[in-house]
Amino acid sequence: MRILIINLAHEKQRMKFQTAQMKRLGLDFERLPALTVDDIGEPDLTWRAAQWERPMRKTEVACLYSHQRAWQMVAEGNEPVLILEDDALLSSKTPEILASLQQQTQANHVTLEIRGRKKILGHETIKLTNDTVLSRLYQDRTGAGAYVIWPDAATILLNRSHKTAGLADAIIAGCYHISSWQVEPAAAMQLDQCDHYGIKSPLVTRSTIGVNSSDKPAAAGFIQLLNFKRRRLVSQLRMGLRQLSSLARARRRFVAIEIRDYQHHIASDN
């Protein structure tokens, strides 16, 4: 399966970590240069920053644009693609999971990721490998660090993201027109989640979003604040309706994880 790793040019340590991880797993990949604030015009940054449920940082807008670039590449092809952010830690089972996903026809979006929060997962599952299944994902909240996307879903996400703004993971989680599934046990986590799951992180990372004081969103006016609250309310209502509509076929729970699937990689880095 084709793999795209989104990486900022100055994040050389992250790229070094990913190169070693991919070699260890026997996976080929392509580095997708992440867009920076300087790559995007100020008018577009300003407009986008004011179109979500809260003021967005310019770096958050740039992150969305980086995922849009990846979605465009997927939409132009004819096969699923694994999209990774450069701080994604993968499980030892990832190669066989990707090989099985290559043959999947029921899903057009699959998240490998876990992030310490409950998700609404369906009772319906699909056997993926001898050790993993796909669980129908009705509602996620956060995480765009490791997911497989098919061309039709990438096109839908592109169209949605051109009409509205938001964090990349919010765009994905709020798109109910794609068939989303969750790998269980989870096959990926971002490095900032290692401590939460009792795993020694192979690399100390710092978020590239909001590290500069100049990146703080501009103060919103009264009308803008009302629009932010309105969008937030609409989003919460949509999620509430989504949960109600899936009561008979799903429940809100934590995603399963096997810690030993990650210890192999940590040991290899020591």
CA distances from 84 to 87, 190, 227, 238, 247 (A): 8, 10, 32, 27, 31
Give the span between the Cα atoms of 26 and 237, in whole angstroms.
44
Structure confidence at residue 265 (pLDDT): 62
Give the pLDDT of residue 89. 96
**Domain limits for position 42:** 2-269
Would you call 261 exposed, middle or buried from its count of C-beta atoms within 10 A (0-12, 13-18, 19+)? buried
Q: What is the pLDDT of residue 26?
A: 96
We report the CATH number of the domain holding residue 59 as 3.90.550
Q: Do the beta carbons of residue 235 and residue 53 sit within 8 Å?
A: yes
Mean pLDDT value of segment 83-95: 96
Cβ within 8 Å of residue 86, ≥6 positions away = 5, 6, 7, 8, 11, 14, 15, 17, 18, 34
pLDDT of 220: 67
Q: 65: pLDDT confidence band, cut at 50, 70 and 90? A: very high
Structure tokens at 93: 């089972």
pLDDT of 107 reads 93
Rounded Cα distance between 48 and 58, Å, is 9
Q: How far apart are CA 68 and CA 61, in angstroms?
A: 11
Which pLDDT belongs to residue 235? 85
pLDDT at res. 156: 96
Query: Is the model's pTM score more than 0.85?
Result: yes
When pLDDT is cut at 50, 70 and 90, the band that residue 263 belongs to is confident
Which tens digits make up the pLDDT trace of 128-166? 999 999 999 999 988 899 999 999 999 999 999 988 778
- Provide CB contacts within 8 A for 171, sequence distance 6+: 64, 67, 157, 160, 161, 164
Q: Judging by DSSP bridges, how do beta strands 133-139 and 180-184 pair with one another? A: antiparallel
What is the count of structural domains for the chain?
A: 1
Q: Are 101 and 80 in contact (CB under 8 A)?
A: yes
At residue 34, does pLDDT exceed 90?
yes
Q: Which residues, at least 6 apart from 143, have a Cβ–Cβ distance to it below 8 Å?
A: 111, 113, 114, 115, 169, 190
